[in-house]
Amino acid sequence: MNYGAFFDRAIEGLKSEQRYRIFANLERDARRFPYAIWRPDGPGTQPREVAIWCSNDYLTMGGHDMVIDAVVDAARRHGAGAGGTRNISGTHHPIVELEVELADLHGKESALAFTSGWISNLASISTIAQLLPNCLIISDALNHNSMIEGVRRSGCEKILFRHNDMEHLEELLNTAGPDRAKLVVFESLYSMDGDIAPVAKIAELAKKYNAMTYVDEVHAVGMYGPRGGGICEREGVMDQIDVIEGTLAKGFGTLGGYIAASSNIIDAVRSFAPSFIFTTTLPPTVAAGACAAVRHLKASQTERARHQRQAALTKHALSAAGLPVMDNESHIVPLMVGDADLCKKASDLLLERHSIYIQPINYPTVAVGTERLRITPTPRHTDEQIGELVEALVDVWQTLKLPFTSAAIVPLRRPALGVDQCTYPEMKRAAE
Ligand SMILES: *Cc1c(COP(=O)(O)O)cnc(C)c1O
């Protein structure tokens, strides 16, 4: 048997479906974000400066002086590693402090940190559902892969409700009946379309039909709510959701994931989840950095306000130039291409001709026919850089003969939005 041939064939299959992923070799510069050094592959290529427009370090907290100082200080004091699983090596002080901050952020009794957001979903959803007798998991159809893996791993019966469709959710809850154990799993902010779930309605339905709720706030923590507690904080429903899951790697700029919930739920996950028990915990450096970011964003509105402003401005400018930006109520700026090959070509052209890095988003991350460039402006992208981005995209659209749309066809929710007239609640609050 030629084992190698199987791997070659698997990769060829991906390539023929335009699904083969190439990772750009980027050297980020904490001081000079969004600029980074790109090292292209291949003979005769030279490293080049590029501007990054698709980072999930949404608020650039990863490059914040206070976060960097906390990481360096923790490394000097405690060393580089955690020394083992919490079971074996005990639990280090920076992670205890971090969990206290996270529980407080969400108004919960306790929190538990994991090595990633992906692992926190896998561990928590599977463990919670497994401990409940004959649990039915009711899951939004567009949930992230980590939640799907958690649902699968639980081995419980699952049923999907149509994305953000409250009538469908109610129908499923009603059919299951009030007596059966039910866990509703959903995201507060979906990262590809940037749409926001009706979290208050979900909480209300769950209460009516006696179901537990589990929300993934990965794309909202740090960025929404008066203290960065996410969409549930903004909507005033954190206390009505049983389990809030978040990441430390996006809005908080470091690494790791967590859940916040009542003490008994946290104790159960801590005690029963193999993907928590049998793996080395986050090192003190990361815990200290994340803790600094969480603390800072609880008090400061500056980053949130500027983030919303730059995202709104980017949408406005793209739309005004006739580029097919998808409207939504969040910081995510999806620019629709609708074809895998053209999406890749647009991304390549942006990088090679304009030194702008935006990863193409193709199937299976999004549905076939909805391929896009997903733009994530940060507080550190200037108005001038937004202008440069729009010019570059117009050139790419013309070169590839991609369709322009009139600004009137894709209306922005805030059509007359001027640079200083953003109407997002975070901005209002910041201005007060
Ligand atoms: C990125 C992501 C995760 C995983 O978080 P990591 O900390 O990157 O592992 C979980 N849920 C959603 C919705 C995500 O987009």
Q: What is the pLDDT of residue 285?
A: 98
Confidence check: pLDDT of 172 > 80: yes
Give per-residue pLDDT as tens, 63-112: 999 999 999 999 999 999 999 999 888 899 999 999 999 999 999 999 99
Q: Is the pLDDT of residue 408 over 50?
A: no
Ligand 1 in contact with 216 (CB < 6 A)? Answer: yes
* pLDDT for 17: 83
At 141, the pLDDT band (50, 70, 90 cuts) reads very high
Q: List the catalytic residues.
A: 250
Show Cβ contacts of residue 158 under 8 Å, excluding neighbours closer than 6 positions.
136, 137, 138, 139, 151
What's the gap in Å between 431 CA and the centre of ligand 1?
A: 31
Say if residue 424's pLDDT is above 60. no
pLDDT score, position 304: 97
> Where does 255-382 have alpha helices with state H?
263-272, 274-277, 284-299, 302-320, 340-354
Confirm or reject: Cβ of 257 under 6 Å from ligand 1.
yes
Average pLDDT, the chain: 93
Q: What does DSSP say about strands 182-187 and 212-216: parallel, antiparallel, or unpaired?
A: parallel
pTM, 2 dp: 0.93
**Does ligand 1 have an atom closer than 6 angstroms to the CB of 217?**
no
Q: Indicate which residue's Cα is closest to atom 7 of ligand 1.
A: 117
**Residue 22: pLDDT band by 50, 70, 90 thresholds?**
confident
Residue bearing the bigger pLDDT, 166 or 424: 166
Task: Provide the residue type at 154 as one letter.
Answer: S
The C-alpha angle with vertex 276 and arms to 270 and 278, in degrees rounded to 5, equals: 120
User: What is the structure's pLDDT at 19?
Assistant: 83
Q: Please report the atom of ligand 1 found closest to the CA of residue 190.
A: 13
Q: Return the percentage of the chain with pLDDT > 70, whole number.
A: 94
- Is the CB–ligand 1 distance for residue 376 below 6 Å? no
pLDDT at site 421 = 42
Instruction: For residue 173, report the distance from its CA to the centre of ligand 1, in Å.
Output: 27
pLDDT tens readout for residues 359-394 = 999 988 999 999 999 999 999 999 999 999 999 999
Ligand 1 atom index nearest CA of 257: 7
Query: How does pLDDT run across 179-226, given as a tens digit for each residue?
Result: 999 999 999 999 999 999 999 999 999 999 999 999 999 999 999 999
